[in-house]
Amino acid sequence: MSQKNQVKKTTGGLHLHLVKRDDISWWESWIIRAIAILLALVVSGALTVLITKIDPVKMYVTMVESAFGTPRRIWNLAQGTAILLCIALAVTPAFKMKFWNIGAEGQTLMGGFATAAFIIAYGSKLPDSLLIPITFVLSMLAGAFWAIIPAYFKTKLNANETLFTLMMNYIAIQILAYFTMEWAIPKNSNTARILHEGQLPPLFGQPYFINILVVVIVTVLMYIYLKYSKQGYEISVVGESVNTARYIGINVNKVTLRTMAISGAICGIAGFLLVSGTNHSVNQNSVNGRGYTAIMVSWLAKFNPIYMILTSLLIVFLQMGSLKIAEVHHLNPSFPDIITGIIIFFIIGSEFFINYKLKLKNKEEKVW
């Protein structure tokens, strides 16, 4: 049979094709995520019955009660969400620019360190009306300084920002470990010193209200900055293509330094809120891994500050719930973390189905 007479013959078999989605609406993407969460709860429940023999419904009820059972728990949930959200907002501009800032942990610690250092030095000499705004500014400057260091070496020497920012975390941790002992009372007791000055006052009877209010303001400002400002546009262009950014006249090095300064400054604000508004002390464990968790929060929200409210709330809810489950049901402390990990795994996996879809096609073969 000549090539001109080539035909296609359908064999009747079906096979799956992965097809990248051209576009998907926001509500469709959140439906996919909701389905993923429901599936994760089913799988987690089955695993719970298999291993612990505990009724999974009781386990999930315990989880909900741990976060929403009393007004105090709701405020604790809101406070934890606010701190994590603040750090997630901090890493977002850098990540959107494809500058992989893994140093939020250290930048937040340095913001808290600057706050504590100034309070210890001048807390007995200045009123809180001066201490609070000064420490707020100092925390931003400290976080920005800690973030600009790797950014500078990236722009001048093309240093690997992932390793550089990660190593800066360990330096910050050791600085805090040293000063925790120096500031302790008695000295070298390795007990974080309680700071009685420079504390954020309660508002409407709630000690965490100012913390939450500050983060809400930062969230709105970050959304406007990324979506509507010229600098936000430059961040997007640099993230899409450095060569394109240079071609249209954007100073990439300037954008990198500026964006990392903003990222570090917001981390510094989170450090300030931890010291002045939450713990009233600081040590090497004050951030408690939030700098790394914030990366997942930002990524799951597709770098959208408004969606980050939901992802931050979900992560903090899971963390609080897992601790309560272990306490109430006398479980190995690692088991709730397994449940949390399964749920997060399903949520991350749902991103695949947001970006791709499966299509059934008839299998065709060429016949000559």
User: Residue 248 has what pLDDT?
Assistant: 94
249 φ, ψ to 5°?
A: 95, 15
If you average pLDDT over residues 109-127, what whole number do you get? Answer: 95
User: Residue 1 has what pLDDT?
Assistant: 45
Task: Say if residues 272 and 135 touch (Cβ distance below 8 Å).
Answer: yes
Task: Say if residues 208 and 280 touch (Cβ distance below 8 Å).
Answer: no
User: Residue 3 has what pLDDT?
Assistant: 47
User: Residue 115 has what pLDDT?
Assistant: 97
10 pLDDT band (50/70/90 cuts)?
very low
User: Residue 341 has what pLDDT?
Assistant: 86
State the chain's mean pLDDT as an integer: 89
Task: Say if residues 267 and 87 touch (Cβ distance below 8 Å).
Answer: yes
User: Residue 367 has what pLDDT?
Assistant: 44
30 pLDDT band (50/70/90 cuts)?
confident
Domain boundaries, the chain: 1-54+331-368, 64-329
If you average pLDDT over residues 38-52, what whole number do you get? Answer: 87
If you average pLDDT over residues 2-18, what whole number do you get? Answer: 55
If you average pLDDT over residues 123-151, what whole number do you get? Answer: 96
- d(C-alpha 48, C-alpha 295), whole Å: 29
User: Residue 366 has what pLDDT?
Assistant: 47
User: Residue 59 has what pLDDT?
Assistant: 83
Task: Say if residues 60 and 340 touch (Cβ distance below 8 Å).
Answer: no
Question: Which whole-number Å values give the CA distances from 283 to 85, 114, 193, in the listed order?
Answer: 21, 12, 9
Q: Angle, to 10 degrees, between the axis of helix 71-96 and the axis of helix 104-122? A: 120
Among 11-20, 74-83, 314-323, where is mean pLDDT lowest? 11-20
> How many CA atoms, within 13 angstroms, populate the side-chain half-sphere of residue 83?
28
pLDDT digits (tens, 9 = 90+) for 241-254: 999 999 999 999 99
State CA 280 to chain mean position distance.
23
363 pLDDT band (50/70/90 cuts)?
low
If you average pLDDT over residues 344-352, what whole number do you get? Answer: 87
Spell out the residues 6+ positions from residue 209 whose beta carbon is closer than 8 angstroms to its own. 202, 203
Give the rounded percent of residues in the chain with a pLDDT score beyond 70. Answer: 93
335 pLDDT band (50/70/90 cuts)?
confident
If you average pLDDT over residues 204-218, what whole number do you get? Answer: 95
pLDDT digits (tens, 9 = 90+) for 139-193: 999 999 999 999 999 999 999 999 999 999 999 999 999 999 999 887 877 788 8
* Length, in residues, of the chain: 368
pTM of the prediction? 0.89
Task: Say if residues 268 and 143 touch (Cβ distance below 8 Å).
Answer: yes
CATH level 3 topology of 64-329: ABC transporter involved in vitamin B12 uptake, BtuC (1.10.3470)
Give me 256's structure tokens: 């990198």
Which has more confidence, 9 or 148?
148
Triad 107, 307, 137: Cα angle to 5°: 30
User: Residue 4 has what pLDDT?
Assistant: 47
Task: Say if residues 101 and 147 touch (Cβ distance below 8 Å).
Answer: yes
Which has more confidence, 365 or 22?
22
